[in-house]
């Protein structure tokens, strides 16, 4: 009943999962990160130790996208729209339906479409394993540090001095706006990394 007043989020669901239950949501984000690390450990192909002829298919050429004119044309049109829509869902998650989880899934789907159309070489120019590690660690660290006070206070909204802004404005709801971005980054990176590892066995 006091959600809008206490969190500043018009979307009551977002106010719940990123404020009252922020610690639980942080755990869910870490589960995604740990799951990705496990997949990296289990599916990664060690190219240095390959002596068997049966492993020769690991050559990157085998996994590159074929020259599909229709797919590439569609991806050129759809990928920018998908990325912009995903960002919109993340940034406006405190105002209406959406948020970090759903927006991150949309951006992850856009990355997968781009990879399927243009191949690993084109995609790794802006997203590789190092990029994944930096983005995921930064997002989780920012989330943890942002909500550190509530993890230890354990009370219902002790005053933090962080302004909630005007409900309904894009820059409102205090830290929820930032936390939505962090969750979106983790979800998008996890989806894309899973796809890369199951398809290629390397990243």
* Token duo for residue 108: 């992850």
pLDDT for 116-145, tens place per residue? 898 888 888 999 888 988 999 999 899 888
Which CB contacts under 8 angstroms, 24+ apart, belong to 63-71? 63/119, 63/120, 63/199, 63/200, 64/119, 64/120, 64/121, 65/115, 65/116, 65/117, 65/118, 65/119, 68/117, 71/116, 71/117
| Per-residue confidence (pLDDT) for residue 134, from 0 to 100 | 93
Q: What are phi and psi of 157, to 5 degrees?
A: 55, 65
Residue 37 has pLDDT above 60, yes or no: yes
pLDDT, mean of residues 26-45: 81
| Per-residue confidence (pLDDT) for residue 88, from 0 to 100 | 95
């Amino acid at each position: 009943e006091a959600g809008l007043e206490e969190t500043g989020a018009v979307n009551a669901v977002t106010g719940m999962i990123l404020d009252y239950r922020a610690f639980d949501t942080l755990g869910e984000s870490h589960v995604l990160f740990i799951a990705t690390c496990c997949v990296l450990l289990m599916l990664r192909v060690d190219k240095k130790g390959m002596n068997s002829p049966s492993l020769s298919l690991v050559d990157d050429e085998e996994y590159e996208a074929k020259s599909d004119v229709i797919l590439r044309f569609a991806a050129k049109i759809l990928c920018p729209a998908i990325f912009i829509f995903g960002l919109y869902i993340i940034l406006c998650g405190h105002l209406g339906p959406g948020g970090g989880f759903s927006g991150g899934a949309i951006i992850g789907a856009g990355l997968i479409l781009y990879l399927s159309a243009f191949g690993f070489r084109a995609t790794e120019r802006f997203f590789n394993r190092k990029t994944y590690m930096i983005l995921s660690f930064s997002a989780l660290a920012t989330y943890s540090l942002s909500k550190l006070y509530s993890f230890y206070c354990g009370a219902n909204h002790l005053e933090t001095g962080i302004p909630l802004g005007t409900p309904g404005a894009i820059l409102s709801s205090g830290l929820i706006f930032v936390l939505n971005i962090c969750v979106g980054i983790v979800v998008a990176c996890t989806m894309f990394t899973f796809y890369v590892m199951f398809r290629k066995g390397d990243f």
